[in-house]
Chain A
Amino acid sequence: MPAPIEELREQLVGLLPRLRRFARAIARNRHDADDLVQIAIERALARSGQLRPDSRLSSWMFGIVRNAWIDEARSRGQRDRIFAPAELGENIGDPAHETQSDMLAVQEAMARLPEEQRITVGLVLVEGVSYKEAAEIMNVPIGTVTSRLARAREALQALLADTTGALR
């Protein structure tokens, strides 16, 4: 019988694809996103005693990813701007370029959102978390979730209409 902590580790391994997806929605490139996931996993294990078993593991982890991002973002504002264009370069000569381009357009648009709006979009629209759960993860009232989401959507619709319009 595996010890609880070993079970938790395996559940975290199983959650990695989703954590990477969420991180990609809020960080601006793959490298930063994976760094973020790594930091979050380290923090989660170091605090595993605080995991309330009646909460969803995914929600708990999204909260840790979010907090880690906010902490890291404070100290790395400069770096983001330097690394952000690298993602564009990654796709030159990539045969999967076509399928990547819509993701790029979306990421570019996401990158222009204020931090908290981007996190809200990542939770609700990318990860499919309910408004209520998102509010708990971000520790804000539900009304804040809906207003952030409404503003983010408006901005994204405008930005993506531009890009897709230009591409077509």
Chain B
Amino acid sequence: MKFSDETLMAYADDELDPPTRAAVEAAMAADPELARRVARHKELRNQLRSAFDKVLDEPVPDRLIATARTAPADRRADNVIPLRRKSAPRWSWPQLGSIAASLVVGAILGQLLLRASITGPIIARDGQLLASGALAHALSNQLASDQAQQAPVRLGVSFRSKSGEYCRTFLLRAPSALAGVACRGREEWRVQVLAQSGQAAADGGQYRPAGSALPRLVLQAVDEQIAGEPLDASGEAAARSRDWRH
């Protein structure tokens, strides 16, 4: 088989799919000239890499560090900060999130429904996800401003959505480590967003500010749905006394 130089290059860069890769390797074993061409590609790569790697050893000029620490930033990047309140629970609010919600929810949901017993925290009914058991209880009763350190469900912020419902963010402790947003329906809490939280969803190398307990997906959902400011402690207590109905 004959291979183009681009294919050999892609082989040297480890960019080929396994079958093509195997075919190149077989051809290289049979043809020393082919092997030499691949070796030249690899050598060039190493040469460039080692030449420029020296830059990594240089001290970074102070002016660059100063620029990174002090140059003016887009104010929108701080949009989410007002969500943190004085009495806020220990959630952190990284920047705006945007992942395809359905993908994440779909991936987790399969797992969850397999595991869920009838008393699980989330049930599916009529094509909707509803809070159940301990989660439903916490959503109705637990105040974010007053919750036990080891409570199985941790509430984050409560807010009025643009459609006028009360919604709350929650975090289920390990092992499920799921976080989401639930909104109050007539009788039930509808789970609108559900995502794996914290370590469980750590995606190596991806940009994710350290220490964010709530997945971006959840933060983004809050950001999209919230009307005005999140409830403060007294607003939360007042909403609870009306059973989260308006």
Contacts and interface: CB of A to CB of B under 8 A. Distances in A.
Nearest to B210: A7
Contact-residue size bin, chain B (C-beta under 8 Å from the other chain)? 35 or more
A150 B15 CA distance: 14
B67 A160 contact: no
B71 interface: yes
A74 B63 CA distance: 24
A45 to B, nearest CB: 4
A68 interface: no
Contacts of A41: 64, 67-68, 71
Contacts of A146: 6, 9-10
A75 interface: no
Contact-residue size bin, chain A (C-beta under 8 Å from the other chain)? 35 or more
Contacts of B92: 1
A56 B206 contact: yes
Interface string A90-113: 000000000110110111000000
Interface of A, helix, strand, loop or mixed by DSSP: helix
Given A46-B72, A54-B99, A125-B44, A17 B55 contact: yes
Interface string A7-29: 11101110011101100110000
A54 B216 contact: yes
Interface string A119-139: 001001110101100000000
B30 interface: no
Given A1-B211, A146-B9, A34 B64 contact: yes
Interface of B: 5-6, 9-10, 13, 15, 40-41, 44-45, 47-56, 58, 60-61, 63-65, 67-69, 71-81, 84, 90, 92-99, 205-211, 216
14 contacts: A4-B93, A5-B73, A13-B65, A13-B69, A20-B64, A41-B67, A45-B72, A46-B71, A49-B96, A50-B74, A54-B98, A56-B205, A102-B51, A149-B13
